[in-house]
A = this chain, B = another copy of it.
Amino acid sequence: MAKKDKGSPVRDALRVGAELPDPGSTPVGPGKKPKAVAKLDDAAARLSSLQEALYAEGVGGGRRNVLLVLQGMDTSGKGGTVSHVLGLVNPMGVRYAGFKAPTPAERRHHYLWRIRKQLPVPGQIGVFDRSHYEDILVPRVTGLLTAAERRRRYSEINAFERELADAGTTVVKVFLHISPEEQLDRLRARLQTPEKHWKYNPGDLDARSHWPAYQEAYADIFKKTSTAHAPWHVVPADRKWYRNWAVAELLIETLAELAPRFPEPGFDVDTELAKLKGVGVPG
């Protein structure tokens, strides 16, 4: 646990660059499903033990934690990622928060108000299913954000994430990158499966009709908010098995670099063992 990882090949390969990878590609790691599924199985044990060490460190007074920010177009697999990747670790150490369109009550506050309320505590892995980035994306695409307001929000978000880093939170920002063709298939599947109807929203088609504007907005977000302490990663997400493997590895590399440590006991082990020997069975 205390060993440093030898590097971050997956983070390095998926860090956002000038060009986005093809949504169906597999830029690093397994290129076929059976291998990716087997590797995710292996990853489960590592992720789980790193998470336990982080949690233990938090119990011992450490303040560090991790925040996974998931963004992507509708059907890009944010929920599936939570289920298949975060589902691998102990629920005690996970804090999930999904952000939908803000309610009227939420709108009366600064847009970071509801975000701050959902931050993970020390030792936890927090997951944001959508996030404060929606507060640039949606108003920008729907034309409700002036260029000046947009600049202000970028600057606020960068300051906010700087503050998180200073407070001990490692922010892992992931864009799940799907193709419009794949989205069409997934929307159709939702409509054709009654148990998936609840995941479908007619508004998804409106958002889809603004696809190029969203891609442009994301490109701008990557340019303005991919910082050294909170860079963006682009995960090709047309293949669910690749997406799951990649997000698991991003978390593992992040945690391995943190190298969380089980806390030193605040007691003398031998003394306590001796006390236990003297203890009878009460009752």
Residues of A within 8 A of B (CB): 52, 56, 59-60, 79, 82-83, 86-87, 89-92, 94, 96, 98, 127, 129, 180-181, 184, 187-188, 191-192, 194-195, 197-198, 200, 202, 205, 208-212, 215, 262-263, 265, 267, 269, 272-273, 275-276, 279, 281-283
Chain B nearest CB from A102 CB (Å) reads 16
Taking a contact as CB atoms closer than 8 A, the residue among B52, B90, B129, B212 that contacts A283 in the complex is: B212
Partner of A279, one of B92, B202, B205, B215: B205
Is the pair B187, A276 in contact by a Cβ cutoff of 8 Å? yes
**Contact between A82 and B87 (Cβ–Cβ < 8 Å)?**
no
**Which of B82, B210, B272 interacts with A200 by CB under 8 Å?**
B272
Q: A83-B90, A200-B265 are in contact. Are A281 and B191 (CB under 8 A)?
A: no
Neighbouring B residues of A273 by C-beta, 8 Å: 188, 191-192
| Structural contact, A90 and B87, CB atoms closer than 8 A | yes
| Contact between chains at A180 and B282 (CB < 8 Å) | yes
Report the bound CA distance from A94 to B82 in whole Å. 12
Give bound CA distance, A283 to B209, whole Å.
9
Give me the 10 closest cross-chain CB pairs, A-B, nearest first.
A211-B282, A56-B198, A197-B265, A83-B90, A86-B91, A180-B281, A202-B267, A91-B94, A82-B92, A91-B96
In the bound assembly, the distance between CA atoms of A118 and B184 in angstroms comes to: 38
Measured CB to CB, the nearest residue on chain B to A267 is B202
Beta-carbon contact of A262 and B197 below 8 Å: yes
Is the CB–CB distance between A198 and B281 below 8 Å? no
Q: Which residue of B lies closest to A188 (CB)?
A: B276
Question: Do A202 and B272 touch across chains, with their CB atoms under 8 A apart?
Answer: yes
Bound state CA distance, A82 and B89, in angstroms?
11
Chosen A-B contacts, 18 in total, with CB atoms closer than 8 Å, are A52-B195, A56-B195, A56-B198, A60-B198, A83-B91, A91-B96, A180-B281, A180-B283, A191-B269, A191-B272, A197-B262, A198-B263, A200-B265, A202-B267, A205-B275, A205-B279, A208-B282, A210-B282
